[in-house]
Amino acid sequence: MSNTGTEQSVENAAAGDTAEFTRLVESHRRELQVHCYRMLGSLEDSEDLVQETFLRAWRKRASFEGRSTIRAWLYRIATNACLDFLERNPRKPTDTGQSATSGGRVMPQAEVSWLQPYPDRLLEPIATEAEPDAAVVARETIELAYLAAIQHLPPRQRAVLILRDVLGWPASETSALLEVSVAAANSALQRARATLKQHLPERRVEWAPASDPTEQERAVLRRYIDATERADLSGLAALLRADARFTMPPEPVWCDGRDAVIAAWAPTLVGPNALTDFKHLITRANRQPAVAAYVRWPGTDTHVPLGLDVLRIEGNQVVEVTAFSPRLFPALGLPSTL
């Protein structure tokens, strides 16, 4: 669309053309939801806040004067909507009461009870002719470890960090959005970066960039599924790196080290209360491989959702597992039964 056509569309939307307004804002829905998800750590809350953003934008449509793009205007509204939400619903990461053991730190996922996975299918780029790179989402800004870590930041520091380091906004625009001086915005950014570093895994800088699953990764996933379905604890242990970690939000539970993880999994797989009839599907969330588990309960004919394991794989070993309830299976595009 030409600039003249775009300007006319904006004018029509500002004048109350609901169809034009909807067309303009809907093209930014997915990237705005990712932004809200970073701010809130919750898929469900991010969906609600995108709707709130669009409602506020409609009410304020006449105030859009064209000094910035529609995209930047919507990001400002979304950021403020998230900050208002966090002011009304203050939440702090849970203190696990545990200290770091040798070779690692407490996983932030264990402390962020509201953390939810984000479907990869909602991360697909939605490029436009005017903004071809608008919706590109890098793994390092959407992976679970990063999402959990930034939840430890005060909301306004979180906003500054996301706007500056993720979206690449200049200090002047960031300070204007938050109605603070440039110096104050820069100071908040430095504090946010320092705090973030404390909560990210120590070896995170060594992680490989996101890519399509390699054959090696697919082989690890197949072995993980096979060992689970056969209740093979030795096979699972062989897949885990010695310093592997396991968490299961919303429970403030974490297991640090291969032996601790296997001990946590054992009652589900062996013994009098073990589950014995599993099926699994491979999927992806937060740019990470994931396994959806289904179980058939005694006396029933179908397998129903049990949980989602989001994995981090390095080489041929699993180094991190974050387990979630099956509540978000529909959002991940997973079937209700197998």
Q: How many CB atoms lie within 10 A of CB 299?
A: 5
Model confidence at 17: pLDDT above 50: yes
CATH 3.10.450.50 is right for the domain spanning 215-328:
yes
Which pLDDT value is given to residue 253? 79
* Strand-pair category, 240-248 with 317-324: parallel
Q: What is the DSSP string of 19-82?
A: HHHHHHHHTTHHHHHHHHHHHHS-HHHHHHHHHHHHHHHHHTGGG--SSS-HHHHHHHHHHHHH
Please write the tens of the pLDDT for every residue from 130-151.
Answer: 444 444 567 778 999 899 999 9
Task: Find where tokens 């689970």 sit.
Answer: 228
Q: How far apart are CA 192 and CA 234, in angstroms?
A: 42
| Coil, strand or helix at 8 | helix
How far is residue 287's CA from residue 306's CA, in Å, rounded to a whole number?
A: 21
- Residue ranges per domain, the chain? 3-206, 215-328
Q: Does pLDDT of 106 surpass 70?
A: no
pLDDT band at 13 (very low <50, low <70, confident <90, very high): low
Are residues 125 and 136 in contact, defined by beta-carbon separation less than 8 angstroms? yes
Strands, E assignment, the chain: 240-248, 251-256, 278-285, 288-295, 304-314, 317-324
- In sign, the C-alpha dihedral spanning 255, 111, 228, 288 is negative
Beta strands in 137-287 (DSSP E): 240-248, 251-256, 278-285
Q: What secondary structure letter does DSSP report for 296?
A: P
The predicted pLDDT at position 24 comes to: 83
Backbone dihedral region for residue 291 (phi beyond 0: left; psi -120 to 50: alpha; all else: beta): beta
Phi and psi at 58, nearest 5°, equal -65, -45
The pTM of the full predicted model, rounded to 2 decimals, is 0.88
> Which DSSP letter does residue 204 get?
G
CA distance 293 to 43: 20
β-sheet with 251-256: strand ranges across = 251-256, 240-248, 317-324, 304-314, 288-295, 278-285
Please write the tens of the pLDDT for every residue from 32-87.
999 999 999 999 999 999 999 999 999 988 887 667 788 999 999 999 999 999 99
